Chains A and B, each alone.
Chain A
Amino acid sequence: MRDGDYNAGSVIDVRGLSKSYRNGAVTADVLKGVDLHVDAGEFVAIMGASGSGKSTLLNLLGFLDRPDAGSYRFQGADLSQASDDTLSALRNRKIGFVFQQFHLLQRVNALRNVMLPLLYAEDAQGDDEVRAASALEAVGLSHRAHHRPGELSGGEQQRVAIARALVNDPAVLLADEPTGNLDAKSAGEILDIFARLHAAGRTIVLVTHDEQVAARADRTMRLVDGRIASAPGTRPISPANP
């Protein structure tokens, strides 16, 4: 069934996705026909060495970039011809990004950072501040709402970023090496939050080169030389610690 037609629970369905970058005369084929399928509620890890194209794949999945070839159905809709405005709206309402470098605005406090996506959610309901506060509460940072990023630890900053990703209640959370800049303890806390979100039914796609991080996912896919090494749609390669 997973190999067959798109089903109602499909969030991400990618076929033959390719992307190359030109740098002067040199063209680098980063992705060479990637197939990927993610159902609602899944927690998928994409593993690969640095330079394997995993960040590029995540950017394509999050509509930050457009593929050169291949099809991408998001929640069943073909978006290969979508306008920039449509993709912006999708990023705003359907995608929650968590970056390795946190990407917080240094000049404003945690609460304002979390409210940032709501600036662009014209039809969002409810009070922005209340929503941002509850998103912060979900990551256990209510007491730090009025601190600026510089006054927070790395782990806390990443939790603010997760709250920001969640504030518009997205269909999928895309995390790019979310623990890459953190010490082991903070990394553990962040992974615990992902696990909790997953348990609550949140769909998560996480990119990492760290086996231990990948182990927390339902399913791990390996990206080698621009292709998925394990066949798409197969059940997870059994995790190290089931």
Chain B
Amino acid sequence: MIRKQHRLRRNLVLSFQLLAAHRLRTALSVSGLLTGVAAVLVMVAVGRGAERRVLDRVLAMGTDLLVISAAPAPRLTGRQRQVATTTTLRTQDATAIALESALALRAAPAVNAAIVARHADRNANTSVLGTTQDGLRIRGVVAQTGRAFDESEAREQRRVALLGPTLAHNLFGATDPIGLEIRLGRVPFEVIGVLRPRGVDVGGTDLDNVAVIPLATAMRRVLNIPYVHTLYVQARSSRQLDALEREVRDILLQRHHARAGSVQPFTIRNQAVLLRTERAAAQAMNRLIVGVALLALLVGGIGILAVMLMSVRERVHEIGLRRALGARQKDIQLQFLLESAFLATAGGTAGVILGLLAATAASLLGPWNLIVPWNAAGLGLLCSSLLGLLIGVVPAARAARLQPVDALRAG
């Protein structure tokens, strides 16, 4: 057994020496597979990075959240965004949902509007968000410095504001804004806290350019409206989100005397659905990558196949000699299978190394968010080797079929 392994290894070494005689051709034959594997790995890295980024955003919002808007879904007609604002959602709707729905953990109303914020001689375009204590919890609004407003401040419609880091910077620069005064529109507010940074959402909106104030303050003192724009409803469990959506829809339809099926004065956005959509998009991307990977393997394999067939033709004489010296057909077959597998594995390995280097370098140096795909690298290597064996079948069979006497004479 050990002898057999020795001989197998020696045979491989011999094959290697014979292949090394055609360095350029051997290198060219594996270059297709090499670049294919490397390119696919980089694609996987980019795809995974993008997928992760999108999912992170969705997950940051929470997968247990329903967002009810007081308007039909914004429709894109041509290039113009047409939004018909309805004025039917009230703070009481949130209270009703919190009370009547068994699946809801908490519910909160919110208003929001674009507004100009001022401090001294500085102006900044920003958006104001008015919501309740529960709304802060649902949206994960947390003060990094200073504090959030409390129950009594909300009830008493106090003019206190939490600033997003972007807005704080725009108005105050490096100065600590806490305790200082700003104006939202014409209404003066005291800054009581600065929010934890949240970054940019999928659509590119800066989530940190915001002022958060108590709901009642926003409705009465800033916007002067009796209705709210949005209801947030958080589920007790993200698994029950779809059931919660049905429940909330029933409650709202009943409160607004609308019939199911008719045009509803609100739309419900389900984070779980959003997540599913994102996942589906990611899967489509993955299928595309698999397709490209298969194509790359095919192209790379054809290169190796061509060289192997050429190699068999050129080495007819060597095959005849080996047969004369006692090689069985299966020895010849095994030799060419192994040579093909060796070439493909070498090409695959080089491609994996190149791909991983490129992905790692890109994620270290550039602004790209790449995820180095270790498991894809392993799979790529495995596929390359298997491909090599598969590719080798035809040349190996062709080599083994040669009659020793004919093959020798060909020399």
B-contacting residues of A (Cβ < 8 Å)? 59, 62, 64-65, 84-85, 88-89, 91-93, 97, 99, 101, 103, 105, 107-108, 112, 115-122, 124, 128, 164, 168
Contact = CB atoms under 8 A, between A and B. Distances in A.
A59 B411 CA distance: 15
A101 B331 contact: no
B7 A88 contact: no
Contact of B411 (A64, A101, A107, A121): A101
B323 interface: yes
B109 to A, nearest CB: 83
B21 interface: yes
A91 B325 contact: yes
A91 B324 contact: yes
Interface string B382-411: 000000000000000000000111001001
A59 to B, nearest CB: 5
B325 A117 contact: yes
21 contacts: A64-B324, A64-B405, A84-B328, A85-B330, A88-B323, A88-B331, A89-B326, A89-B328, A91-B326, A92-B325, A97-B324, A107-B17, A107-B20, A108-B14, A115-B10, A119-B11, A120-B322, A120-B325, A120-B331, A122-B7, A128-B6
B21 to A, nearest CB: 5
B307 interface: no
A122 B325 contact: no
Contacts of B136: none
Given A89-B326, A92-B325, A97-B325, A105 B11 contact: no
B327 A88 contact: yes
A174 to B, nearest CB: 10
Q: Which 5 interchain pairs have the tightest Cβ spacing?
A: A92-B326, A120-B326, A88-B328, A117-B325, A65-B405
Contacts of B202: none
Nearest to B315: A105
Nearest to A83: B328
Nearest to A168: B326
B176 to A, nearest CB: 78
Interface of B: 3-4, 6-7, 10-11, 14, 17-18, 20-21, 317-318, 321-331, 403-405, 408, 411
Contacts of B327: 88, 92, 119-120
Nearest to A89: B326
Contact of B324 (A62, A93, A105, A118): A62
A113 to B, nearest CB: 10
A112 B183 CA distance: 91
B408 A64 contact: yes
Contacts of B18: 105, 107-108
Contacts of B7: 118-119, 122, 128
Nearest to A62: B324
A59 B331 CA distance: 21
Given A103-B321, A108-B17, A119-B7, A93 B405 contact: no
B322 A122 contact: no
A101 to B, nearest CB: 6
Contacts of B403: 65
A103 B408 contact: yes
A61 to B, nearest CB: 12
A128 B317 CA distance: 24
Contacts of B322: 116, 120
A224 B321 CA distance: 28
B403 to A, nearest CB: 7
Given A103-B321, A128-B10, A88 B326 contact: yes
A116 B325 contact: yes
A124 B325 CA distance: 14
A124 B411 CA distance: 29
A85 B328 contact: yes
Nearest to A109: B17
Contacts of B6: 128
A91 B18 CA distance: 23
Contacts of A91: 323-326, 404
Contacts of B21: 107
Contacts of A65: 403-405
Nearest to A97: B324
A111 to B, nearest CB: 12
A135 to B, nearest CB: 13
A169 to B, nearest CB: 13
Contacts of A103: 317, 321, 324, 408, 411
